[in-house]
Structure 1
């Protein structure tokens, strides 16, 4: 895992000082790619002063008009949230801790994005839903919300601790993960699962992909399995014969590296 491959994304920051403090924390722990989504402030002298020796990070900031644009090209995106509780009907709220994230990313390669929300309200559920997985920093229940730059520094520290591990295999590309989810959704549709349940299934499987940091070759094998399931379900629907589900063709799975 190389910290050069990380992208730090701030969604609609309201204060230039926040940007400066986050950039400084990034510099402390070896990160350099800072992206802003629709910032509500302009970086000026006050923000730069808070940035300290991270002026190079501030000078190379990339701005985006939407979170979707900021996540483009990432192999894995992690949205941060102060809410650690979740319900079965709200799968997007199942978070990792920073340490768990570090363990997930050990021996992994690929561009990873860490997304932080607004100073006052954080990320919305819709925005968290655009990320592959979520992360929270455990704190006392009486006051779970951390200052933006403090939270960022804790996350960056854990990433720094686990950095430098050798990369065994590249992470699955965003395109491959979308293909996996597409085949899964198609198979669920053909098997008669209702729309609401299909959405929950897809969200749950996306969580699995995010938390496991699936590799390219593993993803390719999974695509092949799901493709064959989808084809078998199509034959079943056309023939009306349930036995067709188990009568899939045999052969060697193809890798799509």
Structure 2
């Protein structure tokens, strides 16, 4: 299970925005450390969208000790000052890499966001398990708290959003026979266009390397094979 914690938020609207992002990406447990007052008629609920119905009213106030002692924690910070001599934790992971690393975690996970102006303190960072930083422009790397949460939770969607929204068969890698069939069709295409015979083995090797890097899905492989086949048949028909 993945929870989200917000430490020392100053603006109720940011808490509401984070609750909304949680709802967007399939998360429901919101933990608050030293939160502002969340008035049901105020901006937190106004910014929360449909999360005002469940995520926000069910938010639990906890201590920082509770987070550090009961969860595998991910500290989210806008800037890390990535210097192994000075920073508490080095290097930081990025949101894009976070989901893969969390797949190996056995137990409950909590993604922790800090204060709007100062984030998490070095003492707090030292007590958490992983640091995640969002790469941004050096000229202005500090993100709004709600923006940062949305980016991180979006990248965790493969762990939190129901898989039926993105059917696995659309993304599954093509099976070996289908890929080999595409290679054979590409070879016939080379013959049809009159590619020099002595250069065909090299062209096929290059195409094989390209497909190996691309890791096409079954649908992509089928489509490419069909395109090569139709092109070859038109060439052969023209030459008859």
The TM-score, its normalising length taken from structure 1, stands at 0.58
Indicate whether 1:34 and 2:30 are aligned.
yes
RMSD: 2.1
The answer for the alignment partner of 2:121 in structure 1 is: 124
CA distance in 2, matches of 1:41, 1:25: 20
Contact 1:14–1:41 at 8 Å: present in 2 too?
no
Indicate whether 1:72 and 2:62 are aligned.
no
Choose from 57, 60, 69 the match for 1:59: 57
- Tell me by how many angstroms 1:132 deviates: 0.6
CA distance in 1, matches of 2:3, 2:126: 18
CA distance in 2, matches of 1:164, 1:108: 18
- Tell me by how many angstroms 1:48 deviates: 0.6
The answer for the alignment partner of 1:21 in structure 2 is: 17
CA distance in 1, matches of 2:150, 2:135: 14
Where structure 1 has 5 or more consecutive residues not aligned to the other structure, the ranges are 166-257
Q: Residue by residue, what CA displacement relative to the aligned partner does 1:202-252 show, whole Å, maximum 9, x if unpaired?
A: xxxxxxxxxxxxxxxxxxxxxxxxxxxxxxxxxxxxxxxxxxxxxxxxxxx
Change (3 A) 1:53 1:20: same
Indicate whether 1:86 and 2:52 are aligned.
no
CA distance in 1, matches of 2:138, 2:28: 33
| Bigger Cα displacement from structure 2, 128-137 vs 92-101 | 92-101
CA distance in 1, matches of 2:39, 2:8: 13
Change (3 A) 1:77 1:107: closer
Contact 1:106–1:163 at 8 Å: present in 2 too?
no
Partner of 2:56: helix, strand, or coil?
helix
Partner of 2:97: helix, strand, or coil?
helix
Change (3 A) 1:60 1:164: closer
Change (3 A) 1:43 1:110: farther
- Tell me by how many angstroms 1:25 deviates: 0.4
The TM-score, its normalising length taken from structure 2, stands at 0.62
Partner of 1:140: helix, strand, or coil?
coil
